[in-house]
Every structure is written in C-alpha cells, then in structure tokens.
Amino acid sequence: MIDYLINIILLAFLAITAIAILRIRSLLAVIMLFGIFSLLSAGLFVVLDAADVAFTEAAVGAGISTVLMLATLALTRDHEEKPPAHQPWLPLVVVVITGLALVYGTLDIPAFSDPDAPSQLHVAPRYIEHGLEETGVPNLVTAVLASYRGFDTLGEVTVIFTAGIGVLLLLGRTRRRKPKEDEQ
Amino acid sequence: MKHNLILRVVAKLLIPIIVLFALYVQFHGDFGPGGGFQAGVIFSVAFILYALVYGYETAERVMPESVLRVLASLGVLIYAGTGIATLLLGGNFLDYNVLAGTPLAGQHVGILLVELGVGVTVSSVMLLIFFAFVARGNS
Amino acid sequence: MEFVFGHYNYWIVILLMMVGFYTVISRGNLIKKIAGLNMFQTSVFLLYISIGNVKEGTTPIIAEGFKVYSNPLPHVLILTAIVVGVATTALGLALVVRIKEAYGTIEEEEIHEQDKSL
C-alpha cells in the first residue's frame, strides 16, 4: 500500500516536472529541472527494485548530463528561448494520436508486477536459479552484464569510446593558428 | 575567484572521499549494487569537481589530456584483451571458465578484469568530454 | 478498477513520453530539444523497468531469506541504454556548440533563414 502511494507521488512529481520543462523559457531553469527529473526517476527506479539502474541514472543523468548541458549553455550564451512564431497545432495532433495509439497498445500488456507475465518466464528464472553457482557473483545484474551477456557490454564500451572520439573531433584543441580564422 | 574559500576547503575534504567511494563501488560491484559504469562516472566526478573549483589549468596539470587518451584506449584494450586471452587459452571468446584453475575462479578473474576495463574507459571518456567543452570555452 | 491499478503506471509513463516527444518536435531551441529527447529516453527506461518488476520481489541480488527476485534482464538492458544515452547526448551537445560557432544562433528558425539565404 505504501509502495503504491510512493509510486503515485513520484510519478505525479515527474509529470509536473516534465510539463514545466516544456513550458519554461529560461534555459538555466530548464537544465536544473532536467536534473530534478533525472533524480526523481532514479528514486522511482529504487521503488521498482532496480538498485543498479537507479545508481547509474542518478550518477549519469543528474550528474554528467546536467554538467555537460550547463557547459554548453556557458559556451552558447543564449539564456532565453524565443517564443514559437506560430501555434504548434500539427505537433499537438501528432503527439495526441501517438499517445492514444500507445495507450491502445498497453491494453494488452499484463498487469503491472504480475509474476506470471511472459517477460518473467523464459530466460530470467534460469539466470536467477543458476546465476550464483555458475558465476560465483551474488549481484545478478553484474553476473548477467559481465558474464552471460559480456559481448553486449563490449559493444557498449566501444560506443562510449567512439563518443569520446567524436567529441574530441568536434571540439578538440584548436592548434595555435592565428585567431579569427574561420573553419572551412 | 577570491571568495570561494568555503568551496575550496570543502572540495579538498570531499574529493578523496569521492575517489574512495568510486573504488569501493568498482570492486564491490559483485556483492552489492555497483560495477564498472557507476564507478567510472563517480571517479570522473571527483576530477570534474576539482576542475570546477580550482580552474581548468590546474586540473589539466593534475590529469593531462594525453594521459586520458591513453587510459581510454587502455580500458577497451583490457576488455577485448580478456576475450583474446580466453581464445588463446582454448575456450570461446569471453568464456571466462578457462582463465584460472577452476571455472568459478576463472569467472571471478574474468569479471574483475572486465569491470576494470569498463571503469577505466568510462571515467577517462567522461573526463575527456568535459575537458573538451571547457577548453573550447577558454580559447 | 483492478485493470486501472494494473496499468496506471504504463499510462503515466506514456504521458511523460509524449511530453518529451512534443518538446522535441515543437520547440525550436536546440538545447531544449536535447532535454526533451533525454526525457523521452528516461521514460522509455521507466516503461521497461516497470515491465520487469515482480510483486513482493526484491532487488536481484542473491541474499539470505529472500525467495522472489525481480527480473534482472531488463535492468541489464537499461544499464547499457542509459550509458549509450549519455554518449549520444554528449555528441549532440558538442554539435550544438559547433552550430553556435558557425551560425551565431541556436534557434532552429534562424538557422533555416540563414541556410535559405545562402
């Protein structure tokens, strides 16, 4: 009962923060609210029994993402968003239609936290029963991440490395050329 | 910046604790929540805090960018190297059972090495990205 | 009523997704678009983790005295997805910085004006 209550309260706060991010025009406030959004969703992950995911979301979303956005804001120095020139009716229609289609899709999903749902039945019981004896690691998420699905994690590390290379290519050191040279 | 005495003192107290916590999360990822990604991000946050309080030039001297580039590649190399080592020892790619005497000990060694590679790469790439943004702002 | 209790989680997450989507397609400022994209991503993660939750279960770390665990597989996938998300956000923000240096503005309308007048 208390779980449901915390769930509802956190989701309500998330919805309010999301609508505030949409409507507020001062970019500094938008970035701060984005940090709050990440932290609230990390809290929601804890309530949903996902400790590793909450840890990563809090560190990465409320930490690194917010810092990088603030750095971009300092570099671009545009602190106010311009009001939209025309009324966005077409995006609103598209969004409402997509939302209704998604809600229609969720009518078939089994109920929230049902232990007999198909998503709990195929591979997950094998990982839960044999994970500790095959890998010797009590944390099942680390066991699956590093041992059972180690190949995917190799791809993930490569993606991070590539992102680092990409940012270095875009924003690398400007060599000691003469200033006021335009990059052609 | 002359008025940030409180910031400097508190940062000096906090940064070693943050680094210690990052190492704790890295090596106890087997027994509690944690692992390479979280530890890498927390480790880079310590250096980002240092750069924010003491300035970019001081942070650049503490952790030069060339070292960060080598470390980023080193992490991916450790990860892929573990895979190649298992190939050379007779198993499949990333099959940790062949890395030590018993399969269970091999799994422990394999997971430890792999998470180490992940932690090193993630922390150095996050720091590289942050330093790239700051250096662009200074030039 | 049972049905609403079993599904309200998904519906509010879909609302968050749509708010993020609307921010991306209707606002012209590039930094706001990237914030909206991140909101969309985070709500998709919430959807996946809700699917993996098990009633009366606990965090999937084997410990004494617990029998029912939540499904660890969505946790692993979302862990990867979060880190890939921050990688793409960093690249997107680097592109925003370069666009500002090249065009002098980060509003989509003005960028289109400058491109059309070339």
Domain parsing of chain C, residue ranges? 2-116
Chains that touch A (3 or more CB pairs under 8 A): B, C
Decide if C35 and A69 are in contact by the 8 Å CB cutoff. Answer: yes
Segment B89-120, tens digit of pLDDT: 888 888 888 888 888 888 999 999 999 999 99
Asked if B135 has any chain A CB less than 8 Å from its own CB, the reply is yes
CA-to-CA separations, B46 to A54, B40, B52, in angstroms, rounded? 20, 10, 10
Asked if C1 has any chain A CB less than 8 Å from its own CB, the reply is no
**Rounded CA gap, C27 and C32, in Å?**
7
Contacts of the segment B18-27: beta carbons below 8 A, 24+ positions apart: B18/B42, B18/B43, B18/B45, B18/B46, B18/B49, B19/B43, B19/B46, B22/B46, B22/B123, B25/A55, B26/B115, B26/B116, B26/B119
Q: C45, B41, B10: which is closest to A68 by C-alpha?
A: B41
Interface ipTM above 0.85: yes
**Rounded CA gap, A128 and C89, in Å?**
34
Segment B28-69, tens digit of pLDDT: 988 889 889 999 999 999 999 999 999 899 999 998 999 999
* Architecture of the domain whose range is C2-116: Orthogonal Bundle (1.10)
The pTM for the full model equals 0.90
In B, minimum Cα distance to A60 occurs at B41
| Alpha carbon B42 to chain centroid, angstroms | 8
In B, minimum Cα distance to A166 occurs at B129
Type of residue at B32: G
Q: Distance between the two ends of chain B, CA-based, in angstroms?
A: 19
Q: A46, A62, A65, A64: which is closest to A54 by C-alpha?
A: A46
Average pLDDT in chain C: 89
Chain A CB contacts of B81 under 8 Å are none
**Rounded CA gap, A80 and A27, in Å?**
6
